[in-house]
Amino acid sequence: MNVVAIQGSPRRGGNTEIVLDAVLAGLIEASPAHVTVVRAADKKISGCVECFTCQTAKDVPGCAVQDDMREVYAALLAADLVILASPVFCWSVTAQLKAVLDRLYACFKFDETPPRCLLAGKKMALVVTSGGLREHGAALCEALYDSLVAFSQAADGGRLMCHLMKPPSQTRNDAALLARAKEFGRSLGKPSTRMSTRMEEVERAAILQALRENKYNRTETARALGISRRALIYKLRRFAKQGYPIDP
Ligand SMILES: Cc1cc2nc3c(=O)[nH]c(=O)nc-3n(C[C@H](O)[C@H](O)[C@H](O)COP(=O)(O)O)c2cc1C
């Protein structure tokens, strides 16, 4: 498995790094993986400049900004699993990670309906550390992540939310937290989860494609797929709740 973790904290040896290291240790234990950690703070990555050059490129990001995001695009496109890790900074992810997320705009091709995403079908996961409780900003990180997963047509590998964090010196010795992080990592690496997730993705992609091809007509789509209209409506309701577009 090819894994890319984008780590948003600027603090070396900080809480997010400690927790992410434990997650990756668990993951590697569960499944052989090639892991690349991108420390966003070490990279020169600007925000999106809104030139829309990317929208003229079809199957590549095609971003006009020539900075370190180029290597991040390459790593992301090659990944099976993308882990986003960040501390909560002022009710959201850090500015360093947000710059990366803004630049993912180039991975969406908006001339297609629904927009096609070059990251579709990949598994994503979220790791957050926060000084406060969920309602003190971490919930917004989760909302951001949920939107990204749904809009990217990616598979949600899960989230590890670590609240009320203490200084890194204490985090390093928090056996219960590190065990939880390792267990989360193992769950990301487990083949059974990957296979079932993959099957869901394949089914969803086939249904949404048939829906588009049949101009969103439910009866025609059900006929093309060889399932009952009722079964189709049931599945579409589920996709809609997950944020997938089911109407033009
Ligand atoms: C600039 C800054 C802003 C922060 N804002 C929040 C916040 O809005 N909500 C929260 O729960 N914690 C907040 N925290 C606490 C961090 O999320 C927490 O200490 C985190 O574990 C730090 O991770 P790190 O060591 O990897 O950077 C903030 C910390 C800093 C330095």
- Which CATH number fits the domain that encloses residue 147? 3.40.50.360
Q: How far is the CA of 207 from the centre of ligand 1 (A)?
A: 41
Q: Give yes or no: residues 28 and 137 share one domain.
A: yes
Q: How far is the CA of 163 from the centre of ligand 1 (A)?
A: 10
* Secondary structure class of 65 (helix, strand, coil): coil
Domain of residue 156, residue span: 2-189
Whose Cα sits closest to atom 29 in ligand 1?
A: 89
Q: How far is the CA of 41 from the centre of ligand 1 (A)?
A: 15
What pLDDT is attached to residue 115? 85
Contact 186, 25 (CB under 8 A): no
Distance CA 55, CA 64 (A): 10
Bond from prior residue into 115 cis (ω within 30 degrees of 0): no
What pLDDT is attached to residue 122? 93
Minimum-distance ligand 1 atom for the alpha carbon of 171: 21
Q: Give yes or no: residues 126 and 220 share one domain.
A: no
Q: How far is the CA of 148 from the centre of ligand 1 (A)?
A: 22
The residue whose CB lies within 8 Å of the most ligand 1 atoms, and thus the one to mutate among 89, 128, 169, 172, is 89
What pLDDT is attached to residue 177? 96
Q: Give yes or no: residues 236 and 156 share one domain.
A: no
The residue whose CB lies within 8 Å of the most ligand 1 atoms, and thus the one to mutate among 39, 130, 163, is 130
Domain count, the chain: 2
Q: Give yes or no: residues 208 and 111 share one domain.
A: no
**CATH number of residue 220's parent domain:** 1.10.10
The verdict on residue 159 lying in a domain is yes
Distance CA 33, CA 21 (A): 14
Whose Cα sits closest to atom 7 in ligand 1?
A: 90
Q: How far is the CA of 101 from the centre of ligand 1 (A)?
A: 19
Q: How far is the CA of 114 from the centre of ligand 1 (A)?
A: 36
Estimate the crossing angle of helix 175-189 against helix 15-30, to 10 degrees.
50
Q: From residue 9, give the alpha-carbon distance in Å to each of 86, 128, 159, 170.
A: 6, 10, 17, 17
What pLDDT is attached to residue 82? 98
Distance CA 28, CA 146 (A): 25
Minimum-distance ligand 1 atom for the alpha carbon of 165: 21
Q: Which residues line ligand 1 (CB under 6 A)?
A: 9, 11, 14-17, 87-91, 129-132, 136-137, 165, 168
Distance CA 150, CA 148 (A): 6
pLDDT along the chain (248 residues), means of 10: 97 98 97 96 98 95 98 96 98 98 97 88 95 95 93 91 97 96 93 63 83 92 94 90 74
* Secondary structure class of 202 (helix, strand, coil): helix
Look up residue 92 and give its DSSP letter: B
What residues have CB less than 8 Å from 97, skipping those under 6 apart?
6, 8, 40, 84, 86
Q: Give yes or no: residues 59 and 174 share one domain.
A: yes
Minimum-distance ligand 1 atom for the alpha carbon of 88: 17
Q: Give yes or no: residues 206 and 179 share one domain.
A: no
